[in-house]
Amino acid sequence: MQDFAEAFRLAFHLVSQMDDELAAIIALSLRVSLTAVAISALIGLPLGALLATTRFRGRGGLLVLVNALMGLPPVVVGLLAYMMLSNAGPMGFLQLLYTPTAMIIAQAILITPIVTALSRQVLEDLNTEYAEQFASLSVPWATRVGALIVDARYGLLTVLLAGFGRAVAEVGAVIIVGGNIAHLTRVMTTAIALETSKGDLALALALGIVLLAIALSVNAAVMSLRLTAERTAHG
């Protein structure tokens, strides 16, 4: 199978040449997935903190639900988002279908349960450790949650990376709500799907290698940020 060698050669070629079209596709992938991560952080972290620090009726059921939602198939999320955003759907008036915003919404729906469930776990572990000390200090709930989020920052960073990984790698949701429109909503994964359906397996695999490289660089960037922060910033 010379396709493998060909794919790596092509991937290298793609990256070294980096034409405008590929650059735009990479930029859109990053923009869509990073924004989705930011939104899911704004929703999922407080929700995870709420689940981690409070006991209320129905909490157990909610935990099971959130954990189960981590397994949502992207294509189902895409379908749901399509039905909401379609002109025949309840939010059609927003005119968001086949736009990057629709893709962001779909990915945010997809990864918010992941961010919620995993941050709940991270924060609950830390809360268990801090609980008695915080009770002794009579720390109010909001301050407690804030302190937990700040102190669990590295664990939560990994949670957000997990969300990013899932978002940037999924194709099922974005292809339905984005439509894989050239120059408008085409991202790395839908481009890979397109090249596969054209039978250009080497190019598809090469794009896959590029996508992996992007994911690697994002992870490396976050890791180095963390290391720098640990070394220099303890004020």
Closest to other proteins by CB, 3 or 216: 3
Q: Which residues contact 120 (CB under 8 A, 6 or more apart)?
A: 47, 48, 49, 51, 52, 63, 66
Q: Applying CB under 8 A, which of residues 34, 50, 79, 209 lies at the interface with other proteins?
A: 34
In the complex, the smallest distance separating the C-beta of residue 131 from other proteins, rounded to whole angstroms, is 9
The answer to the question of residue 9 lying near other proteins (CB under 8 A) is no
The answer to the question of residue 2 lying near other proteins (CB under 8 A) is no
Closest to other proteins by CB, 113 or 163: 163
What does the block give as tokens for 86?
Answer: 């379609």
The answer to the question of residue 143 lying near other proteins (CB under 8 A) is yes
Q: How many CB atoms lie within 10 A of CB 174?
A: 35
Which positions from 185 to 214 touch other proteins by CB under 8 A, shown as an x/- string? x--------x-xxxxxx-------------
What does the block give as tokens for 39?
Answer: 């939104």
Q: What's the DSSP call for residue 137?
A: T
In the complex, the smallest distance separating the C-beta of residue 153 from other proteins, rounded to whole angstroms, is 6
Task: Compute CA 21 distance to the chain's CA centroid, rounded to the nearest angstrom.
Answer: 23
b/e for 107-141, b at 16 or more Cβ within 10 A?
bbbbbbbbbbbbbbbbbbebbeebeeebeeeebee
Q: Applying CB under 8 A, which of residues 47, 104, 117, 192 lies at the interface with other proteins?
A: 104
CA atoms within 13 A on the CB side of 159: 26
Q: Taking contact as CB under 8 A, which single stretch among the options 50-58, 67-75, 115-123, 222-230 is the one that binds other proteins?
A: 222-230
Q: What is the DSSP string of 7-40?
A: HHHHHHHHHHH--HHHHHHHHHHHHHHHHHHHHH
54 phi/psi in degrees, rounded to 5: -125, 155
The answer to the question of residue 112 lying near other proteins (CB under 8 A) is no
The answer to the question of residue 89 lying near other proteins (CB under 8 A) is yes
Residues near other proteins, by CB under 8 A: 30-32, 34-35, 37-39, 41-42, 86-89, 92, 95, 97-101, 104, 129-130, 132-133, 135-139, 143, 147, 150-153, 157, 179-182, 184-185, 194, 196-201, 222, 225-226, 229-230, 232-235
